[in-house]
Structure 1
Amino acid sequence: MLAEERHRIILELLKEHNVVKLQDICERTQCSESSGRRDLQLLEERGLLVRVHGGAKMKQPLQRELDVMGKSAQNTQEKESLGAKAASYIQDDDVIYLDAGTSTIAIIPYLSEDQHLTVVTNGVEHASLLADKNIRTFLLGGRLKNTTKAIIGVEAANDLKRFRFNKAFLGINGVHEKYGLTTPDPDEAEIKRTALERSEKGYVIADKSKFGYVSFVKVADVTDATIITSTLPASVAKQYSSQATIQEVIL
């Protein structure tokens, strides 16, 4: 198979799966590991992917962010499992913050009126679903971000500073050992940062594809919250275990 054809197949695999293993590339293209590594190096030099241990991941712009519909269609079963795990940390009578986003909205089906919770959120859809479950809910005031249906801006940040929380649950776009927890939007980053600062305990929900990825704005260090994620490759788990508290969910 010609190198150009292998490159096309590699990029198609990345487009479909976001992360691809070198072993899978070699099997799909019927090439040796040395040829596969050379292909990945060439594609990285062209700015088309990022090499990671044992394979590669799709290169994404620092400010790229899907809208709610786009995010909700990704990793649905995985998000449900992570949402269930996150909900297991919530105790009766807790005051919690729920960040806007499809990762955190997966927590809501596992909450009940009988827990006597108070929830503060900047997610419009989150507030509606919580109200349907008759859970005491406060929706932050401020500017509505149309793509993610999140309330953001100075008014929202100031509103958030009125509250204290037992626990905060955040979605995040990137988890990196050096650059920390990152997200594309500075206004949303400020909301996330403030919620963490005002919480006794912070949790970040991030599937394994978020590890090693860096977005535009830093929210916090990886040491500042417990990261709830799906089962990580052993090399990635080892890489982060010395810094971060990670709770893996076996899918």
Structure 2
Amino acid sequence: MSNLLERHQQIIELIKKEGSVKVTDLCALLNVSSVTIRKDLQFLEDKKLLYRTHGGATLTNPYIADRHVEEKVTLQAAEKQKIGAYAAKLIEPNDCILIASGTTVQYFAKNIVAKENLTVVTSALNVALELIHHQGVEVIQLGGLMRKTSASVTGTYAEAILTDFSCSKLFLGVDGIDLNYGLTTSSMSEALLNRKMIETSQKTIILVDSSKFGKRGFGKICNIDDIEQIITDSNVSEHTIKTLESMGVEVTIV
């Protein structure tokens, strides 16, 4: 019985340190079979000490709910402001960029200072409204079905318009980043539009606060290796940062 309790304690300590664990790593660390580890994780989940995922477990509930943009804009506001301010510095003179939907990219739009002429293509109404008063910014608003929760358009019409553009950078907010599964959002239609945006852009930059790591939404946008850079806050674990960098992603902590 002591071995069982010690094993459970080790699992809990590791997941608190790393944020998530894999069954294969636990098998090697604790020198037991995958069947035993899966039973351990089931027991610990029943005790509400962790959440099981495909191939492992995480400390926080990995499944996200669709929240209204007016609610999300107040969450992690300080972190989003720092992320947005840093991202705004990446804009170059005469740039043509894509901005997707979300509240973190809204903070990015608030911080934009146009360098000579800037063209912004966006699906998000809140982003367009932030930029409409800038004399040096030309805003192209994509058309389509308006999602009320995100205040952004989706659908085949918006996707079709993107074929006429080529942008240097895409600034993309997401609802979840799972190191194994990839980047997700709560809407499948928004995920499909985000994929088209990635295809339209030379570089994809993810603006995301640390609360989104280890989470999954219903709609998968892309794999980790489809993006170039992530800008986030300092609450991301060192393990996550090193894993992302080993996958070829530039991680910027603000």
TM-score, shorter chain, exceeding 0.5: yes
Alignment size in residue pairs: 215
* Equivalence map 1:60-209=2 (5 Å): 60-61=63-64, 64-134=65-135, 135-209=137-211
- Please name the residue that 2:23 is paired with: none
2-structure distance, mates of 1:230, 1:194: 27
**Structure 1 equivalent of residue 240 of structure 2:** 236
Identity %: 31
1:105-134 per-residue CA deviation (whole Å, 9 max, x = no partner) reads 111222224431000001112111111123
**CA distance in 2 between partners of 1:76 and 1:194 (Å):** 28
Is there any run of 5+ residues in structure 2 with no aligned partner, and where?
1-14, 18-40
Is this contact kept in 2: 1:227–1:247, CA < 8 A? yes
Amino acid at match of 1:245: V
Distance 1:48 1:245, change over 3 A: same
Query: What RMSD, in angstroms, separates the aligned Cα atoms of the two structures?
Result: 2.8
Distance 1:148 1:54, change over 3 A: closer
Distance 1:244 1:71, change over 3 A: farther
The one-letter code matched in structure 1 to 2:253 is V
**Residue 241 of structure 1: CA displacement?**
2.2
- Judge conservation of contact 1:47–1:59 (CA < 8 Å) in 2: no
TM superposition score normalised by structure 1: 0.77
In 1, distance between residues paired with 2:247 and 2:62?
25
Shift in Å at residue 186 of structure 1?
A: 1.2
Q: Which amino acid aligns with 2:200?
A: R
Cα pair 1:48 1:58 within 8 Å, conserved: no
* Structure 1 counterpart of 2:245, one-letter code: S
1:93 aligned counterpart, secondary structure? coil
Q: Contact (CA 8 Å) 1:165, 1:198: kept in 2 or not?
A: yes
Q: Which runs of 5 or more residues in structure 1 are unaligned?
A: 1-19, 23-39
Cα drift, residue 206 of structure 1:
1.6
Greater alpha carbon shift after TM alignment, 186-195 vs 211-220? 211-220
Contact kept in structure 2, 1:180 and 1:222, CA below 8 Å: yes
- CA drift of 1:209 comes to 1.9
TM-score, normalization by structure 2: 0.76
Q: Which runs of 4+ in 1 moved over 6 A?
A: 51-55
Q: Please state how far the C-alpha of 1:237 moved relative to its aligned partner.
A: 1.7
Q: Give, in whole Å, the separation in 2 of the partners of 1:218 and 1:54.
A: 19
